[in-house]
Amino acid sequence: MNTNKTNFKTMKINYINSNFMKTSKFLLSAILCLTVLVSCSDDDDTPSQPNEEEVITNVTLTFTNDADATDIVVLLSVDADGEDGPLAPVQTITGNFTAGATYTATVNLFNAIENEDITVEVTDEEPDEHFFVYAINGLDITLTRSANDVVRTDGNKLGFETTWVANTASTGSLTIQLFHESESVDDSNEFGIQSGGSADVDITFTGVDIQ
């Protein structure tokens, strides 16, 4: 038996096996890299889902006299087709404030298009993404954010439950705004100060009376 030929064949087989292993490892590495690149590309191509503004058609502010539960003032705004629809909001004011009385007010937010109560979403699920701002013009009325108001994690009160003191007889307007994803908020001014974000609600009620 020719030992040299046998050794040569063995070396050839080892060489082929070695190259095969190297090639297999290279192909496996290439496939893994391609998989990672495709995965990363898919992640990059998938747009982030922003937290969309709420669709709110009905906004109700209910003021109840702390000393007389029958003395109630209701401010209601109904925008039947939503903010972007062609129909103008319809506003109604029921009752007048009594001079010298203190009222506790709460807000109800409703989406009549989808029959959805938005109040719970704002106050319970996403208070940190929302903030109420109020303003008055011509009315002699004082606002504070209630001790029972919803408190955001940044320590600011949401403005969902508020206390109003009707001072002297007067007539004017009351504005309520609900901001979504504000850049900053501050409740040190009880009416509320904020910057950035967008308004889910921006309503001014005119002809509000204190008698």
Q: What is the pLDDT of residue 53?
A: 67
Strands (E), 83-169: 90-94, 102-111, 116-117, 130-137, 141-145, 162-166
Which residue did the predictor score with more confidence, 22 or 62? 62
- How many angstroms separate the Cα of 143 from the Cα of each of 2, 19, 167, 168? 108, 83, 11, 14
Q: What is the pLDDT of residue 84?
A: 76
Per-residue pLDDT at 50 exceeds 90: no
Per-residue pLDDT at 96 exceeds 90: yes
Can you tell me the mean pLDDT for 145-166?
98
pTM beyond 0.85: no
Name the average pLDDT for the chain: 84
**Contact of 167 with 100, CB cutoff 8 Å:** yes
Coil, helix or strand at residue 45 = helix
- How many angstroms separate the Cα of 61 from the Cα of each of 32, 111, 156, 193? 60, 15, 21, 20
Per-residue pLDDT at 38 exceeds 50: no
Per-residue pLDDT at 80 exceeds 50: yes
Can you tell me the mean pLDDT for 147-155?
98
Per-residue pLDDT at 6 exceeds 50: no
Report the distance separating Cα 197 and Cα 170, nearest Å. 33
Q: What is the pLDDT of residue 193?
A: 98
Local confidence band at 172 (pLDDT 50, 70, 90 cut-offs): very high
Q: What is the pLDDT of residue 28?
A: 43
Local confidence band at 78 (pLDDT 50, 70, 90 cut-offs): very high
In the chain, pLDDT over 70 holds for what percent of residues? Answer: 75
Which residue did the predictor score with more confidence, 30 or 64? 64
Report the distance separating Cα 102 and Cα 96, nearest Å. 13
Local confidence band at 177 (pLDDT 50, 70, 90 cut-offs): very high
Task: Say if residue 89 is exposed, middle or buried (CB neighbours under 10 Å; 0-12, 13-18, 19+).
Answer: middle
